[in-house]
């Protein structure tokens, strides 16, 4: 057996330095997790997601009503980079849109009918409330 096989690969000081580095890295990771897990930060992310979804739904509805714009073709989740910290619900969604032509007349008639029903309902509700 060669003499180099029995010698330790790291000195005790090197081992201690490595332990200290790993402890600092773990402490930083725990700090990051505690920041992300704060209720205010969770609420902020959820509000941002709700706004994003609402904006997307609004844009699609506007495109449907106006008869132009684009429609969503497909959406999929994007995997986070390896080694990144992801809290449940922090996935990123990539959406593909496609330009489309005019709406068929049937769709426009349906939208006009729904709008009329809603308007009549609101007026009836307001008149009824005023009588009470």
**What is the residue range of 113's domain?**
102-132
- Reported as a single tens digit per residue, the pLDDT across 8-57 is 688 889 999 999 999 999 999 999 888 888 888 888 888 888 888 877 77
Return d(Cα 52, Cα 42) in angstroms, integer: 15
Q: Under DSSP, is residue 29 helix (H, G, I), strand (E, B) or coil?
A: helix
pLDDT of residue 50: 84
pLDDT higher than 50, residue 1 = no
Higher pLDDT pick, 46 / 2: 46
Angle at 35 between CA 33 and CA 37, to 5 degrees: 65
pLDDT higher than 70, residue 91 = no
Are residues 13 and 38 located together in one domain of the fold?
Answer: yes
Are residues 55 and 66 located together in one domain of the fold?
Answer: yes
pLDDT of residue 83: 67
Are residues 43 and 107 located together in one domain of the fold?
Answer: no
Are residues 47 and 82 located together in one domain of the fold?
Answer: yes
Are residues 115 and 71 located together in one domain of the fold?
Answer: no
Are residues 38 and 66 located together in one domain of the fold?
Answer: yes
Are residues 26 and 87 located together in one domain of the fold?
Answer: yes
Q: Could you tell me what percent of the chain has a pLDDT over 70?
A: 62
pLDDT higher than 90, residue 116 = yes
Are residues 54 and 111 located together in one domain of the fold?
Answer: no
Higher pLDDT pick, 64 / 41: 41
What is the CB neighbour count within 10 angstroms for residue 103? 17
Are residues 118 and 85 located together in one domain of the fold?
Answer: no
Are residues 95 and 106 located together in one domain of the fold?
Answer: no
Number of domains forming the structure of the chain: 2
pLDDT of residue 16: 93
Are residues 109 and 76 located together in one domain of the fold?
Answer: no
The single residue listed with the structure tokens 């725990």 is: 30
Instruction: State the number of CA atoms in the 13 A half-sphere of 110 facing the CB.
Output: 8
């Amino acid at each position: 057996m060669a003499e180099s096989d029995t010698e330790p690969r790291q000195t005790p000081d090197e081992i201690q330095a490595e332990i200290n580095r790993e402890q600092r890295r773990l402490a930083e990771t725990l700090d990051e997790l505690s920041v992300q897990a704060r209720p205010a930060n969770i609420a902020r992310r959820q509000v941002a997601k709700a706004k994003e979804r609402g904006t997307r739904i609004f844009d699609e509805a506007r495109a449907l009503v106006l008869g132009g714009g684009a429609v969503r073709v497909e959406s999929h989740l994007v995997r986070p980079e390896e080694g990144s910290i992801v809290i449940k619900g922090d996935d990123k969604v990539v959406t593909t849109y496609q330009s489309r032509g005019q709406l068929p007349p049937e769709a426009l008639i349906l939208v006009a009918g729904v709008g009329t029903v809603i308007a009549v309902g609101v007026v009836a509700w307001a008149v009824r409330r005023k009588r009470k």
